[in-house]
Structure 1
Amino acid sequence: MAKQILLFSTVALTLCSVAFAFEPSPLQDLCVADPSGSTRVNGLACKNPTSVQANDFSFNGLHLAGNTANPFGSAVTPVTVAQLSGPNTLGISMGIIPPHTYTRVAEIITALEGTLEVGFVTSNPNNKQITKVLQKGDVFVFPVGLIHF
Structure 2
Amino acid sequence: MAKSQQTFSKSEKEKKRLKKREDKRKKMEARKLQKEENGSSGIPLAYVDHNGNLTDTPPDPSMKVKVKAENIVIGVPQKDDSEVEEFDPIRKGKVSFYDNSKGFGFIIDSETNEKHFTHVSSIIDDIAENDNVTFELEKGQRGMNAVKVKQA
With the length of structure 1 as denominator, give the TM-score of the two structures: 0.23
Greater relative CO (CA pairs within 8 A, separation 6+): 1
Q: Which has the larger radius of gyration?
A: 2
Comparing both structures, which one devotes a greater share of its residues to helix?
A: 2
Comparing both structures, which one devotes a greater share of its residues to strand?
A: 2
With the length of structure 2 as denominator, give the TM-score of the two structures: 0.22
